[in-house]
Amino acid sequence: MIMQIARYQWTRTRRWWPFPAAVIISLAAGLIPFLLGDTLISNTMTGMDVIENARNFLPFAMLAVMVASALSINRETDEGSDDLLWVLPVDNTALILGKFLGTLPIAGLAFAAFTIPTGAAVFIEWLGSGLPVWYIASELGIMALWWAAGILSAAVAAGFLGMLFRGLVLYVFILVPWVVTPVVVVMGIDFGYSGDYKNMMILWQLADWTTIGSELTMPMARDFYALLPYIGGIIWQKLFYIAMAGLILALAPRLIKRHRIKGGSMDKGYMIAAMAAAALLIVSAGMFYEEQSIGYDKARSETDFYRNHYAAYFGEEGASPADEDTKLPPLEDIIDPPLYIERYKLDIDTTKPPYLKIKAEFTLRNTSEKTIDRPVLTLRHNFDVASLTVDGQTKQNTRDGDWVYIEGMTLKPGQSAEVVMEYSGLVEEWRVHDRVPYLHYFVTDYGFMLPADYGWYPLTIQAPLGNLFGHRSYGDYPYYSLDEWDTMLHYMPDIYGSEVPTPRPDEQKSGQLVAQDNDPAWEASIIDPWRRPAYFDITLRKGGSYEVVTSIGEIDEQGGSVHAAGKGYYLTLLGWPMDEIKLGVDTAYRPMEYDGDEGIYPATVMRDSWNWLGISGKTARTAIVPFYTYSVIDGEQGFFIDNVEVLGYDSRYF
Amino acid sequence: MDISFENVSKVYRKGAKALDDVSLHIPSGVFGLLGPNGAGKSTLMKIAATLIEATSGRIKVGGFELPKEQHEVRRILGYLPQEFGLFNNLTAYEMMDYVAIMKGMQDNVKRRAEIERLLEWVNLTDVHKRRVGSFSGGMKQRLAIAQALLNEPKLLILDEPTAGLDPEERMRFRNLLNRISADRVVILSTHIVSDVAAGCQRLAVLNRGRIMLQGEVEDLKRCAEGMVWEAEVPSHTDIEALPDAVTVSSRRDGDRLYLRLLAKQPPLADARPADPGLEDGYMALITGMNGGDAR
């Protein structure tokens, strides 16, 4: 009976204008990203870019489906035939579900119309990329889940509303959630750094029904690998809305009883279906909470670490360091670090993600004119030092924040020592940016991101690594923000006051204790921890078949082992599935879905800049990574990282 | 098979009392429900058709109690509302098929035969592939009657069924009604007395939510006994000014006006007493007149 009713409901639905209108609007919404050009996110597209762009227009398809479904499911009320319908001796469940099923093809065809352009574009991006079949299947799968959850839930919710209301009231009920959701999400709610912050933010994300807020995904997750850390949250949020649609469907015969006596027992099958949908709704909400909590909790934990160890510097202005706070060194040691490492030999093991294991051999020299007891090195606090030898003798170490004190060691002025340090730790740094957590530095199955400023190898500047040297770009400055939950420290001047020299960038000269272009985070850094070059000799074992990029030079890969050596002011390591393009002596790495000249622009520009200025002997290594990262443009080391191609020439290229 | 209303009242949300303590027994056969517009006929029909619930009172339809056993009543019900729309973007055949399915006619062969037979009865066979939305008012009315007859309902409620029908269609409908009235209850709600006269064995008159009369057709005629007068007057006569008289009908012929009047006393000097008809009885009842000298 249900299917017979559904068949005629569908006949009635397809013969009325809202159905083709919804499909055409959905098709148009799916085409808009392409009609507007590919400038919405980047000048070159990946499959995830296509999905990300299309997501912005999903709400329009949802609205069209809502209006069409709400009007079509209960046309009898509009044409005055409902008295004929509702006295028929048909079971209420069969009638209601039949009407829903007969209207759902609107959602199905609108889904297809919206999906075909985006799906085709995603597929075209994949073709010839060398990415595996499971990759495109996963991309299309998550896209289909995303669109289906939105459009299906829109159709069912609107169908339910359409059975209850008509006219202006109906449109209000349709438009209010459609408008309110994106408005609330786009505006965002600042809940501060209170304990409730996480709960409110997750609730806010869960309520992002149209997902116009873009708040579920990591900023600029431009390939599926980069989406993987967040995919659990996305899937559960989508299942939540599918469960909601299921629950509405299961309860609709119970709740919509036009000209039917109230009460009565509920069919056992539908009761089970309703309970299953309710269970999925609760479970999906719970799992979404759990998934989203991971990032928030880890970001919070990291933030709290720096709050606990460096409270005075993160706290309110004028606050004095508490006794338990980690003590910062005197300013002169920040301006001119007394220790210097001129040679590193690093044996890096990334085969057991998310852990990183390193054996670091380096020469530590006292460049100051005073004897140093208990020399201190800076190493990210999440690494545990397993063994430490100095000139072959085992030494103890003491941890304090991001610092490692070598106990029982003394370095006289000008004295050097050979240090061997083995350490390991979990590299999985989450941050909250724009109120949403994302993974910033990581070692995973599908790649790793190890910037120098993460402190993954021993440094001689004694400063907290809470993104001290990162996040510096035009118009954006490091700060400790309760909204951002970043582990960023104030500028050194904020800590040390006006004693820190602050010449303008155009007054900076080589050798001054001010920012140099070789700063990996490059911009406006008053204290330059990278001003002394070192020789790096690295051996890296990797767990996947991805490309490895270093800031120091070309790699030599044999089997699963990567070797590189070279001189540089810092060492940043990146591993990711990318295309490697040889451009003479230069190398450009780019997302695998790029083709032609896409993604080689930074290397080309850097080379042009050197040619114009007569700079020779350098090689460029540029990488467009398909995940969000702070950009590095370093003409000194010929190194570039960003998640989009930078347009225009820049003094930092040379 | 019969229907009984016991002390049924219906008060709408805004306080309007549509039915006031109505008690009525409707046996098998064609039953006429007469009353002026706004008398409460449609409300009574909708209650019997399970569309609305009475505020108070007891309703039994063929042994089933309403509203509790509304689904059982719907199984034996054919309903033609007074004002209705049809499933406009279905063809006549599709609409009949859709309704038949929902009436439980699952056998495809029998369903098709029944639909074709009814479309033939209402003279819509030639247009069965046309969409209902393109039908004229009369065609829609006939199709609505046909859908009400699907699955041979034991209870047929027809609310103003002849509205919109031309004289030929009306005749056809009356013949149809006589054919199908055996072994079932047909309630014919109308304000057109001639519809009732054509085929009803019993009737009731409803006015302002109250039953004014229920019984045989002859009982209604008797309501005007002694009050029916016929007269012939010049055509310029102001008949509205006749004292204590209700004009049932008037017919002009040249400069003469032939009148049929209800009055206790002769309303004009040359008025002649006449035998009462159904319409006279209905008018007498509605206007509250009784006990005249025209015998």
Amino acid occupying residue A639: F
pLDDT, chain A, mean: 83
Q: Is A16 on the interface with B (CB under 8 A)?
A: yes
Q: How far apart are CA A505 and CA A265, in angstroms?
A: 78
CA gap A639, A311 in Å, rounded: 35
The pLDDT tens digits of the residues spanning A596-638 come to 889 999 999 999 989 998 989 999 999 999 988 877 887 878 8
User: Taking the CB of residue B172, how many other CB atoms lie within 10 A of it?
Assistant: 16
Q: How close B133 gets to chain A, by Cα (Å)?
A: 10
Cβ–Cβ below 8 Å for A87 and B68: no
How far is it, in rounded angstroms, from Cα A65 to Cα A159?
Answer: 10
Q: Which residues contact B132 (CB under 8 A, 6 or more apart)?
A: B86, B87, B88, B89, B90, B91, B92, B95, B140, B143
Q: In this predicted model, what pLDDT tens digit does every residue of A326-342 receive, in sequence order?
A: 677 777 787 778 999 99
Tally Cβ neighbours within 10 Å of residue B36: 13
In sequence order, which ranges of A310-348 are alpha helices (DSSP H)?
Answer: 311-314, 331-335
Q: Does A14 touch chain B (CB under 8 A)?
A: no
Q: Which of B49, B53, B86 lies nearest to residue A81, judging by beta carbons?
A: B86
Minimal C-alpha gap between B143 and chain A (Å): 12
Between CA B186 and CA A87 the distance in angstroms is: 16
Q: Sorting pLDDT into bands at 50, 70 and 90, what band is B292?
A: low
Minimum-distance CB partner of B84 among A15, A80, A90 = A80
Average pLDDT value for residue range A187-193: 56
- Is B104 an 8 Å CB contact of chain A? yes
Distance from CA of B73 to the nearest CA of A (A): 8
Is the pLDDT at A523 greater than 60, yes or no? no
Count of alpha carbons within 13 angstroms of residue A273, beta-carbon side:
18
Q: List, for residues B53-74, the tens digit of each pLDDT value.
A: 999 999 999 889 998 999 999 9
Residue A16, pLDDT above cutoff 90: yes
A88 touches chain B (CB under 8 A): yes
Residues making up chain A, counted from first to last: 654
* Contact residues on chain B for A18, CB-CB shorter than 8 A: none
pLDDT at A467 > cutoff 70: no
pLDDT at A318 exceeding the cut of 70: no
Query: What CATH class does B3-216 carry?
Result: alpha beta
Count, residues in chain B: 295
Please tell me if residue B258 touches chain A, with a CB cutoff of 8 Å.
no
Give residue B241's pLDDT band: very low, low, confident or very high (50, 70, 90).
Answer: confident
Q: How many CB atoms lie within 10 A of CB B194?
A: 13
Domain residue ranges in chain B: 3-216, 226-275
Amino acid at A103: T
B288's torsion region: left (phi>0), alpha (psi -120 to 50) or beta?
left
Can you tell me the ipTM of this complex?
A: 0.88
Residue type, A458: P
Least confident piece of the model among A118-127, A170-179, A192-201, A555-564:
A192-201
Radius of gyration of chain A (CA): 30
**From the CB of residue A536, how many other CB atoms can be counted at a distance below 10 Å?**
23
- From A12, A81, A87, residue closest to B74, measured CB to CB: A87
Q: Which of A265-274, A512-521, A557-566, B216-225 comes out lowest in average pLDDT?
A: A512-521
The percent of residues above 90 in pLDDT, for chain B, comes to 48
Backbone angle region of A311, left / alpha / beta, with phi > 0 → left and psi within -120 to 50 → alpha: alpha
Q: Report phi then psi at A513, rounded to 5.
A: -85, 55
Three-class SS state of B246: strand
Q: For residue A252, what pLDDT band results from cuts at 50, 70 and 90?
A: very high
Which tens digits make up the pLDDT trace of A200-227? 788 888 888 887 765 666 667 889 999 9
Write out the two tokens for A214: 């873009």
> Please, what is the end-to-end C-alpha distance for chain A in angstroms?
76
- Rounded Cα distance between A106 and A108, Å, is 5
Task: State residue A398 phi and psi, 5-degree precision.
Answer: -125, 130
Can you tell me the distance from the alpha carbon of B47 to that of A643, in angstroms, rounded to the nearest whole number? 70
Alpha carbon distances (Å) from B227 to A209, A210, A223, B116:
75, 75, 96, 50
* Strand, helix or coil for residue B151: coil
Note if the bond before B243 is cis, omega within 30 degrees.
Answer: no
Q: Calculate mean pLDDT across residues B215-240.
A: 86
pTM of the model: 0.87
Q: What is the pLDDT of residue A482?
A: 33
Interface contact B77-A89, CB threshold 8 A: yes
A261 at B interface, C-beta within 8 A: yes
CB-CB under 8 Å, B98 with A1: no
Task: Return the pLDDT at B243.
Answer: 75
- Residues in B closer than 8 angstroms to A71, CB to CB, are none
Closest CA to A236 of A115, A156, A149: A149
Instruction: Provide the CA A135 distance to its chain's centre, in angstroms.
Output: 18
Q: Does the CB of A79 have a partner CB in chain B at under 8 Å?
A: yes
